Structure 1
Amino acid sequence: MSDRELRPLRAIRITGDGRCLFRSVAYGACLRRGKQSPSDSAQKELADELRAKVADEFVKRRGDTEWFLEGDFESYVRKMRKPYAWGGEPELLMCAHVLRMPITVYMYTSSSDSPRIIAEYGQEYGKDNPVRVLYDGYGHYDGLQPSLVRTQSRLRGV
């Protein structure tokens, strides 16, 4: 089922420790790969590994990324290697490249009861079943996953 179709989404609360972007992406990547939801400690470990790879990806893609990062490139990358530095759009783009997966960012708006897509990254890696994250508009990211929906055929035991 594509993201464009109506399907209920369920927010998964992610610890707000400066790693929330990386934790939420790592959480979504686990689900996308068919793995179980990672525990809080596993999220932390996966987030720190992903953060290190993202910083390396910035360096690898310096010619393509330096112009859209704020401030001095080396200082920016050095800051992003620290476990409590917040990530944003540049990091989401690099996460998509590191994981080779599409990432879709959602946000609640005042005009809707359900979250709306506000950004998509890594579309070159496919468009179906993206890693989904929920941005709160104030700097925090949570995980987002499709709710389990029972279809009529499943209800009938078919």
Structure 2
Amino acid sequence: MRLTTCAATGALEAESGERSAPTRVGSRFAHAVSVFAVASRARFGSVANEAAKAPAPDAGLPLAQKISIGTPVTGKKVKTGPVMASRNAKAERFKVFQVMGDGRCMFRALVIGLALSKGKFVSKRSEESEADTLRVAAAEALCRSSRIQDRYADSAFTVKAEYGTVDNYCELVKTPDFWGGNAELMVLSEMLEQPIVVYRPEREARGKGKGFVPYVYYGAEHARASGGAKKPKKPVCLLYSRGNHYDLLVK
């Protein structure tokens, strides 16, 4: 399986990180961000209270699903497991859109990638708040209740394997410098119905080369058209390098 087309940027100066004047992100994503801002400011301390105040059809669902960033999950378990790329996968060429390394890099890269997929840009200020929004969304899916965790069973299993217990993870994820990774990508790819591909530098993965090698696919099913009713979504392509940092890859 190959997902070769990622967010295009037009005249964007991706390698230098320069961007043109910011504009608003797409309406659905912007709406999601505005609602999540309350929860983000609360740093999870009063998320449950805010959720109770918000109009919601199901008080057990996290905010991310109530406001439909993607399609709300209403019962059955969600398969969030990633698909590993072949070791022989062909290296690809991209430009690197450099992302600030402040602990939010994965979430920042996703925010920028989602905006670019709609032909939009985000300001630095909005980029940070929206990155925290995505952190809240992922954390709520795994920290609100065991019933919600059960729907994201694959992600919960990953968290337990890495942090010992979900409770340990939930304490750590509250902090703004907590690095996002596999578990959060698994959850967000489903919440956003967005395919995400993580690449590694060819030189790091294979010892030589100047391209980028696909490493793992998330939400690959969303990259395919469904019965002709939906257009396939282009994946957001992330670069994982130096052992702890994410940047955005663009064509």
TM-score (norm 2): 0.53
Q: Does 1:56 align with 2:140?
A: yes
TM-score by length of 1: 0.81
Q: How many residue pairs get matched?
A: 144
Q: Does 1:145 align with 2:250?
A: yes
CA distance in 2, matches of 1:13, 1:67: 31
1:44 aligned onto 2:124:
no
Q: Does the CA-based 8 Å contact 2:91-2:211 persist in structure 1?
A: no
**Distance in 2 of aligned mates of 1:39 and 1:33:** 15
Tell me how far apart the structure 2 counterparts of residues 42 and 35 of structure 1 sit (CA, whole Å). Answer: 12
- Which residue in 1 is equivalent to 2:158? 68
- Corresponding residue for 1:12? 97
2:221 to 124, 136, 140: 124
Name the residue aligned to 2:4: 3
The answer to whether the Cα contact below 8 Å between 1:102 and 1:125 also exists between their aligned partners in 2 is: yes
Which protein shows a greater Rg? 2
Q: Which has the higher contact order (CA 8 A, sep 6+)?
A: 1
Q: Which amino acid aligns with 1:107?
A: R
Q: Deviations over 1:47-106 (max 9, x none)?
A: 000100011122464120322212120220231122110111111111212221000111
1:106-149 residue CA offsets vs partner (Å, 9 max, x unmatched):
11122321111101101122255101111114100011111xxx
**What is the letter of the counterpart of residue 135 of structure 2?**
R
Q: Give the letter for the 1:118 counterpart.
A: Y
User: Could you tell me the percent identity over the aligned residues?
Assistant: 28
Query: Which ranges of structure 2 fall in alignment gaps of 5 or more residues?
Result: 6-89, 225-232
1:142 is paired with a residue of what secondary structure? strand
**Secondary structure at the counterpart of residue 172 of structure 2:** helix
Q: Say which structure is richer in strand.
A: 1
Q: Which runs of 5+ in 1 are unaligned?
A: 147-158
Instruction: Give the SS at the match of 2:215.
Output: strand
